[in-house]
Structure 1
Amino acid sequence: MAEMTAEDAAVLAVDWGTTSLRAFRLAADGTILDRRRAAAGIRAIDDGDFESAFHQIVGDWLPADPARAPQIVLGGMIGSRQGWIEAPYLPCPADPAGLAAAAVSGRMKSGHAFWIAPGLSTQQDGRADVMRGEELQILGALEQLGGGRHLICLPGTHSKWALLEDGIIRDFHTYMTGELFDLLRRHSILGSTIEHAAWSEEGFRDGLAAAGKEGGMLAQLFTVRAGTLLGTLPVEKSGAFLSGLLIGSEVYAAAHNIPAGSEVCIIGNPDLTDLYTPALAARDIRCRQLGEYTGAHGLFRLAKDLLKRG
């Protein structure tokens, strides 16, 4: 088989976040030809020279002649105020055509043209929320999910729950579950009662069961300390209990009004998404997991819509 060249790719997609980036070469049918990951998020580019960082990481994927280059589409925090070019938030409700229309164009000193995806915002009932990067994963899921009403969960440092109706992103909520877990175990009094290297499946499930109990999450949190002091919660289980309590509380808040037997689509790394499956199952809600490269397919979908924009 002949070796692939830069010209074989139709799209060069980069999901460029705060701490890292993931780059993909995609064929004309959306097949991922190659992928790379680098610890070169926007915070790591101290001098703000994003073009040099881009060429250093994926420059060998580009032909020297910009006219022969694949379509270049970037998404994530690279479009934030601290990124390469700011791409404003698109208000919900939003659809794929709207995301393409709100994308911002740029041109490198090397002559290569590129697009940066916008983020999404929502303001309802006095509540404001934003996302940047997760909308690409949602976009990548649309063709797999089809029409109708869907609830999507994107676990992470700031978990997102988005409501889709017939391909339109109607609304979403952010839950600071991952960040709160890290803060509590590292910088609160609970940390001294946690054996950080230990994991207990039983402790995690006990935490899930505690979520939604009387007093709410704020009252249940202190049981991590009290239980270890009184001997009812072994320290080797306390970290997993805290994880279960936070994830269970997130699921309780996000899915409390969802009818039993409904389905939630979960997108992300299986190491994290697998923790949400029992939390949803406890509420008789089915899970449908999509692959962790859904964001790459979302960037590809955006690239196709950008071609229509011209």
Structure 2
Amino acid sequence: MSETAVLALDWGTTRLRAFRMAEDGSVLERRDAPAGIRAIDDGDFEDAFHTIIGDWLPPAGADAPLIILGGMIGSRQGWFEAPYIPCPADPESLADHAIAARTESGHALWIAPGLSLSQDGRADVMRGEELQIFGALAQLGPGRHLLCLPGTHSKWAWLEDGIIKDFRTYMTGELFDVLRRHSILGATIEHAVWSDAGFEKGLAAVRSDAGLLAHLFTVRAGALLETLPVDETGSFLSGLLIGSEVASAVRDLAPGSEVCIIGNPDLTDLCTRAVTQHGIRCRQLGEYTGAHGLFRLAEGLRTRR
């Protein structure tokens, strides 16, 4: 393992992604497990850490690669709490505010902070997505970019010359799950069925004058009155929610502008379909940029070791 320079763990709410990286930032080995912080009921993060990458670790006290953890593992519900730092922020400011920690087995760790925003009466936070954004810097280049990271809590962020200037969170994925599982809409949804036609109908409905709240009950009423096929209801709801998110996020963009999307293709493809309907171009940047963001932080941490 002498070629290993950095062990980077992108440790989120539902999954843990671990990367063994070389001195030049290339990924030597990757592991992915459903061991997010919510999955560790007893809070034994130390055990999960050793279970996933124990064979990558040298004996405690030996010459070790730099180990850096990012994402929800640094939250109040995680292993070691790291602060939020205010926007605007760049990779260097994240490295400056990373906290040092040590496992019970004696291995030294760095925990990446999250980002916060408080302006004009609006408060927001992100933890983990900033690593994906900074990991995409090489693909983005200089200038001003709007990025979308779709998911349970979708993030839209403005990046300018490598600095995150502003961002906004949309609870799209969580609201979809709540509505289909815990509301009256769920009784008329075929949960295991996907329909492209239903999704497109949801996107089209968002473009009318009525707002999201006025459209939601259509999921139930349309099924009862047989104007919306039951096998399209879940996809229609998805189109309503994703379409509403996108319409809000791009409302001030000029046609022909570009949105850069980071994430799982299952989600980024749906988001792309919603964005392009506004005459805006999309560029998909891949799913594993968080590893490269953690490596950028690691480079800034070398002087603090």
- TM-score of the pair, normalised by structure 1: 0.95
Partner residue of 1:25 out of 20, 35, 43: 20
Cα distance 1:125–1:291, how it changes in 2: closer, same or farther (>3 A)? same
Residue range with higher mean Cα deviation, 103-112 or 158-167: 103-112
Q: Is the 8 A contact 1:25 1:33 kept in 2?
A: yes
Is 1:128 the counterpart of 2:123 in the alignment?
Answer: yes
Partner residue of 1:106 out of 101, 108, 111: 101
Q: Which consecutive residues of structure 1, in runs of 5 or more, have no partner in the other structure?
A: 1-5
CA RMSD of aligned residues (A): 1.2
Find the counterpart in structure 1 of residue 165 from structure 2.
Answer: 170
Find the counterpart in structure 2 of residue 86 from structure 1.
Answer: 81
Equivalent position SS for 1:8: coil
Is 1:97 the counterpart of 2:72 in the alignment?
Answer: no
Equivalent position SS for 1:67: coil
Residue by residue over 1:191-212, the C-alpha shift from the partner in whole angstroms, topping out at 9 and shown as x without a partner, is 1111111111111111111114
Equivalent position SS for 1:277: helix
CA separation in 2, counterparts of 1:241 and 1:43? Answer: 29
CA separation in 2, counterparts of 1:66 and 1:154? Answer: 38
Residue by residue over 1:24-69, the C-alpha shift from the partner in whole angstroms, topping out at 9 and shown as x without a partner, is 1111111111111122222333343322321121110111154322
Find the counterpart in structure 1 of residue 233 from structure 2.
Answer: 238
Q: Is the 8 A contact 1:199 1:239 kept in 2?
A: yes
Runs of 4+ in 1 over 6 A off after TM superposition: none
Q: Is the 8 A contact 1:87 1:103 kept in 2?
A: yes
Counterparts of 1:33-112 in structure 2 under 5 Å? 33-112=28-107
Letter in 1 for 2:180: R
Quote how far apart the aligned CAs of 1:231 are.
Answer: 1.5
Find the counterpart in structure 1 of residue 181 from structure 2.
Answer: 186
Quote how far apart the aligned CAs of 1:309 are.
Answer: 4.1
Is 1:211 the counterpart of 2:206 in the alignment?
Answer: yes
CA separation in 2, counterparts of 1:290 and 1:186? Answer: 31
Find the counterpart in structure 2 of residue 282 from structure 1.
Answer: 277
Letter in 2 for 1:154: L
Equivalent position SS for 1:305: helix
CA separation in 1, counterparts of 2:99 and 2:60? Answer: 22
Q: Which consecutive residues of structure 2, in runs of 5 or more, have no partner in the other structure?
A: none
CA separation in 1, counterparts of 2:44 and 2:182? Answer: 34
Quote how far apart the aligned CAs of 1:163 are.
Answer: 0.6
Q: Is the 8 A contact 1:100 1:309 kept in 2?
A: no
Quote how far apart the aligned CAs of 1:9 are.
Answer: 1.2
CA separation in 2, counterparts of 1:49 and 1:220? Answer: 44
CA separation in 1, counterparts of 2:14 and 2:276? Answer: 32
CA separation in 2, counterparts of 1:49 and 1:256? Answer: 44
Equivalent position SS for 1:23: strand
Letter in 2 for 1:125: D
CA separation in 1, counterparts of 2:272 and 2:76? Answer: 35
Cα distance 1:35–1:227, how it changes in 2: closer, same or farther (>3 A)? same
CA separation in 1, counterparts of 2:83 and 2:76? Answer: 9
Percentage of matched positions with identical amino acids? 73
Quote how far apart the aligned CAs of 1:116 are.
Answer: 0.4
- TM-score of the pair, normalised by structure 2: 0.97
Matched pairs, number: 305
Find the counterpart in structure 1 of residue 139 from structure 2.
Answer: 144
Find the counterpart in structure 2 of residue 115 from structure 1.
Answer: 110
Q: Is the 8 A contact 1:30 1:297 kept in 2?
A: yes
CA separation in 1, counterparts of 2:272 and 2:8? Answer: 30
Quote how far apart the aligned CAs of 1:224 are.
Answer: 1.2
Quote how far apart the aligned CAs of 1:234 are.
Answer: 0.3
CA separation in 1, counterparts of 2:195 and 2:61? Answer: 53
CA separation in 1, counterparts of 2:95 and 2:140? Answer: 20
Q: Is the 8 A contact 1:7 1:69 kept in 2?
A: no
